[in-house]
Amino acid sequence: MSRIRWGRWLLAVPMAALALATMYPLVFTANVAMKTRREYILDRFSLASALRWENIAAAWHSVGMARYLLNSVAVVTCSVALLLLIGSMAGFALSQLRFRGSSTLFLVCLVALFIPFQVIMVPLVRIMAEGGLTDTYPGLVLAYVAQFLPFTVFLMTSYYRGVPTEIVDAARIDGNTPYGVYRRIMLPMGAPALLSVGILDALFCWNDVLISLLLMPSADHRTLMVGVTSLRGQYSDDIPTFAAGVLIAAVPVLVTYLFLQRQIADGMTAGSTKG
Amino acid sequence: MSLRSSSPPARPADAAGADGPPTGHRGARRAAAARSRRPSGGRRTERLAPYVLVAPAVLIIVVLRLWPLLLGVNFSFTGDGERNGTTVGLDNYRDLLEDPLFRGALRNVGLLVLLLPIAVAIPGLLATFIYLRVPGHRFFRGVYFFPAVLSPVIVGAIFNLLLAFDGPLNAVLGGIGIGPVDWLGDPRVAMVTVVAVHIWATFGMALVVFLAGFATLDGALLDAARVDGASLAQTIRHVIIPGLSRTIQFVFVTTMIGMLTSMFGLLYIMTSGGPEGSTYLPEYYIWIQQGQMNRPALASAASTVLFLIMLVVGLLQLSLLRRSGRTE
């Protein structure tokens, strides 16, 4: 596939350098996490003298990363499940059913897509407080669902638009109610979209720090990313433990990315080009 | 309900529906199905079904996204503390403009605008190289995109280590006789440092968008350029940039929105607004006023200003899209 001949190998050199610059910070952090404090102070760059897991264990137990991880997993799982359920229901209705006001309702979702969280966060905190939802897991889940629902509805609607109407019509003639069509036809057919939207929603919720910081003030309710920010103050003189905590938080995303790279990249572009 | 009459245009609600009239064939088939198969008690359920399916989504979006927007604008005209709830007109906005921290935040938005071309050019150039099938392009694409999936908090924490005054970067620079630079402690440098880290973390997003744009580019034009002996720079200038004008505009807008709304994590963990308040952005200012200073009304005014800035960016995008639509 040589489309153009200009010294392509020459271009590969700066690109490889940049690839190195992209990966190096993470490699550096992983290396530091394996070092003893003394090793780190003496020489930052040398390879750790052994694969040491003490720092990881310390971060896991004493700092409470285990608890934070558990909080994150629980909140993200619930949020994504709800997002996919509510989002696919709405996506199905907005794309396949004809009813009065459907395009207005779609517009409502579209407008919400352009409202950043920073703009509504003050009133949202007050609404949550009035509902008694501050510092509770359901409250955080609800906030995440509200935050990423416009995106989810939007992508599910455009996916379901591609499903031929004949399929829905045939199912209806067979005597299915719209609910039956949703459950038996649309939900299974939507699996590929549900998977890629679900991965993105999970990533967004997992990576959030602002919403969690605002709505979950107490220490044992922290999500993992807020946990990382709290490391900074506590371990500013113990860099290897700090690095170990950061590593614990980075690894789940790293593993997900290794397996689902294509879906994540494509989904993110689809989301941003259509949004 | 209108179906009870069961006279030919069976579902007037449908025909008048906002989606436009259904095609005769489909509408007739559906109406027939509704008439013949459904027990009469089910018709009501049938008509309500779309609303039931949409209700949870619409309810959540209206109550937790649109309503707060109005509430927030309304809030921004009321007072804080002992003046809580009373209307104060434009006092909050006056306070904002007199607050050096908010003025600094606006200045930093100006800095973002200045750095925007760099944030767009880097992924654009890299996407060009990848499109030209530089050896290993698939690998590069995968590696470059990776930081975009990491949380800003993790990115910030890692760069806190790398950019510390006695950290590795200064050690390397010291080795070649430069520095040391106080990347995060010098008010003149800190904001540029944080923006640079943000660009490092997000250029993969723009890169992938550019690559999607390249997929629509006409390969014959590139071949023609090669036959005519055009240099790489000439090809970029005369073939690639005109061919990708829409994508480029789009990346400009999304990158700007990204810089305005997704740098909180970095600011929070890397500088916390310091040194000397030099790394405030509107979103960080809002958070400080709401979460730390207990001045929600002032924070709401700042939110409204941020929303107006975003609106300008959005309208700019719209007019650009319209203009490029006309020339095509």
Q: What is the pLDDT of residues B180-223, one digit of tens each?
A: 888 888 888 899 999 999 999 999 889 988 988 888 887 788 88
Nearest CA to CA, how far is B317 from chain A (Å)? 12
Structure token digits, residue A203: 């990533």
**Residues of chain A where predicted confidence (pLDDT) is lower than 50:** 1-4, 274-275
Chain A partners within 8 Å of B133 (Cβ): 1-3, 8
For residues B40 and B51, is the Cβ–Cβ distance under 8 A?
no
Domains (range + CATH), chain B = 1-37 (no CATH), 91-327 (1.10.3720.10)
Chain A partners within 8 Å of B265 (Cβ): 207, 209-210, 225
Q: Given this model, what pLDDT does residue B21 score?
A: 40
Report the alpha-carbon distance of residue A269 to residue B314 in Å, rounded. 18
How big is the CA angle at A18 (ends A13 and A22), to the nearest 5 degrees?
A: 150
Assess whether the previous peptide bond of A252 is cis (omega < 30° from 0). no
Give the three-class secondary structure for B7: coil
Nearest CA to CA, how far is A197 from chain B (Å)? 14
Residue of chain B whose alpha carbon sits nearest to that of A152: B57
Which A positions 73-132 lie with beta carbon below 8 A of chain B? 86-87, 89-90, 92-94, 97-105, 108-109, 111-112, 114-127
Q: Given this model, what pLDDT does residue A272 score?
A: 58
**Residues of chain B where predicted confidence (pLDDT) is lower than 70:** 1-42, 321-328
For residues B75 and A122, is the Cβ–Cβ distance under 8 A?
yes
Residue of chain B whose alpha carbon sits nearest to that of A83: B57
Q: Given this model, what pLDDT does residue B121 score?
A: 92
Which B positions 96-115 lie with beta carbon below 8 A of chain A? none
The answer, for B1 touching chain A at a CB cutoff of 8 Å, is: no
Structure token digits, residue B239: 């073939």
Which A positions 176-215 lie with beta carbon below 8 A of chain B? 177-179, 182, 203, 206-210, 213-214
Chain B partners within 8 Å of A170 (Cβ): none
Q: How far is CA B212 from CA A177, B2, B131, B225, B302, in A?
A: 40, 48, 10, 21, 36
Which residue reads 């723009």 in tokens?
B206
Q: For residue A246, give the nearest of B152, B148, B144 by alpha carbon.
A: B152
Nearest CA to CA, how far is B298 from chain A (Å)? 10
Structure token digits, residue B18: 């906002």
Is B68 in Cβ contact with A108 (below 8 Å)?
Answer: no
Domains (range + CATH), chain A = 74-274 (1.10.3720.10)
Considering only CB atoms, B307 lies closest to which of A93, A119, A142, namely: A119
CB count, 10 Å around CB of B217?
A: 15
The answer, for B226 touching chain A at a CB cutoff of 8 Å, is: yes
Which of A28, A111, A118 best tests the B interface by mutation, with the highest count of B CBs <10 A? A118
Max Cα-Cα span within chain B: 90
Q: Given this model, what pLDDT does residue B282 score?
A: 93
Q: For residue B246, give the nearest of B217, B271, B208 by alpha carbon.
A: B217
Is B134 in Cβ contact with A118 (below 8 Å)?
Answer: no
Asked if this assembly's ipTM is beyond 0.90, the reply is: no
Q: Given this model, what pLDDT does residue A5 score?
A: 54
Considering only CB atoms, A115 lies closest to which of B29, B65, B153, namely: B65
How big is the CA angle at A197 (ends B154 and A229), to the nearest 5 degrees?
A: 15
**Whole-model pTM over 0.90:** no
Report the alpha-carbon distance of residue B99 to residue B299 in Å, rounded. 12
Length, in residues, of chain A: 275
Report the alpha-carbon distance of residue A186 to residue A178 in Å, rounded. 10
pLDDT in tens, B133-170: 778 888 888 888 889 889 999 999 999 888 888 878 88
